[in-house]
Chain A
Amino acid sequence: MNGFAGTDLAGTIATWVAAIATIAVWSYLVGARRIFVLMQHLLAGLATGYLVLLAIRDVMMPRLVLPLIQQPRDNGLLLLVLVPVGMLIAATWLPRRAMAPVSAILVGGIAAFALGGAVVGTILPQIAAALPAGRAPSGDLAGEVISLAITSLVLLAFLHGAPRGTVTTRAANVGRWLLVGGIGGWIGFLVVSRLSLLVDRIGFLLGDWLTVLR
């Protein structure tokens, strides 16, 4: 039992709907494309409805509408926010020049958070943690040298178009294969994640729905 649906009538209906939806999606395997497309539309519709509800109930109402209604004087800045929000909604009908500043603020803000966080939270602490300063040479040092070599080779693989000699070209090829190997390894991790989902769905059908695993 995955525990999400209760044992009451609502829970039983939810289990049946989930089981039928799972089998309907799997029906694509035997060529029942119409049922699969229907399920896709159902998913898209439900997801859109859920997102709209979430946006209105958990974001717009408590963070925008209610503060403006209850304490309009203290939340004057929110009125300014309404302008870019409205412009983003009406982006299709507005001229590009008018939209450019709003889009720039949006993209710039996202990039600033991502880049700032990556530098301060990942690159600098990871470099600091990798430096062998204050430690006796050990197996870690060998690991760090290997990491540096691999990083250099992979970086070389990105040097497209630059003038290169035979050694650099071969090194770049090694870097490319290391990159492919890394991506392959990551896909292996992804397969485990997806396989867990498949096994869980089978467990759901056998346990929660057919109750043969109980």
Chain B
Amino acid sequence: MTTSQPPVTTEERLAGLRRAAPVLLLLLALVVASLLSAGTASTAGLRLASPDRSRVDQVRQAIGNLPDNALVLIACDADLGTYPEIRAATRVAIDDLAAHGARLAIVSFTPEGRAIAAAERDRISRGGRIEPPADLGYVAGAEAGLVRSIASIVPAGAEGAVAEAIRERGGGIGAFDMVVIVSGSDISARSWVEQVGSRLPDLPLIGIAPTFLDPELEPYLRSGQLAGLLGTLRDGIAYTEAVSAGSATSPGPTPGPLPMLIGMLAAIGALAEAAFRRLVRRRGRHLRSGRAP
């Protein structure tokens, strides 16, 4: 009885490996594609950056229109699960703002965003090229916190030139000349438009968002409630390329076009396979019931 146990286990393991084979093959293909891409923006004629530069131009124009010594708030509320997609664009935006002489402050309304904001501040401090944004910390209360921050956003213990400048201008979100919203699923540019934009209509809001938020945010760009939006990976990379061109600084790695293409093909393949299976099952049901499919 007990001697039959090992072969069954081995068979089970083999079956498990067989089931996992497509995913493991995909991982292997992505590894090879990443090695081939190796940090270059284009591979064998493939380009991930969007050829339509209108959104990039809009964002750059909004940043270019900032007054001297402008106060800019970076609202970092990205998700850990989607931040890699917008990381390069966010870093380049911070560099771009610093290059335009803006005085930066960073705040978060979500715990995940706070962790990312702290890590980015730490990275900027280590780099030493630019002054890290003034830390306005974490504001609890989600949308209620957003509304409260319109009146007061600087923590009592915050010190430094930027914190003082914000206090001199009233101490709330209205003290800023622009807000760059690094969006996630909990608090996104939409929350800002709804809660802050309706109360401070003259404050330019720029959104940097992962692709899945783009359909939700695009109407706000078209209605003018957002002054700029980098809402897809392709827009983000186009912006990164436009700002980084001629600059010695690097925003870090961006996804290569080849791995993304392979991944998308795999996703389409999985979808087609599921549709085919459903079709076969349906046909079988019809044949069994004696009806035409």
Contacts and interface: CB of A to CB of B under 8 A. Distances in A.
Interface of A: 1-4, 6, 26, 29-31, 50-51, 54-55, 58-59, 62-63, 66, 109-110, 113-114, 117-118, 120-122, 125-126, 128-129, 185-186, 189-203, 206-207, 212-213
Contacts of B106: none
A50 B143 CA distance: 21
A59 B147 CA distance: 16
Interface of B: 13, 16-17, 20, 23-24, 27, 30-31, 34-35, 38-39, 81-82, 84-85, 87, 91, 111, 114-115, 119, 122-123, 126-127, 137-138, 140, 142-144, 147, 155-157, 190-191, 193-195, 197-198, 210-212, 214-215, 219, 222-225, 232-233, 252-253, 255-256, 259-260, 263-264, 267
Given A2-B252, A29-B20, A58-B137, A195 B267 contact: yes
Contact of B24 (A29, A110, A114): A29
Contacts of B91: 3
13 contacts: A2-B84, A4-B122, A59-B138, A63-B140, A113-B143, A113-B144, A117-B195, A129-B223, A195-B267, A200-B85, A203-B34, A203-B253, A206-B35
Majority secondary structure of chain B interface residues (helix, strand, loop or mixed): helix
Contacts, number: 159
Interface of A is mostly: helix
B190 A122 contact: yes
Contacts of B137: 58
A135 B118 CA distance: 47
Contacts of B143: 110, 113-114, 117
Pick from A125, A126, A194, A196 the residue with the most CB of B within 10 Å: A196
Contacts of B35: 206, 212-213
Given A4-B123, A193-B81, A193-B210, 9 more contacts: A50-B115, A58-B138, A59-B140, A62-B155, A62-B157, A189-B211, A193-B85, A195-B260, A213-B39
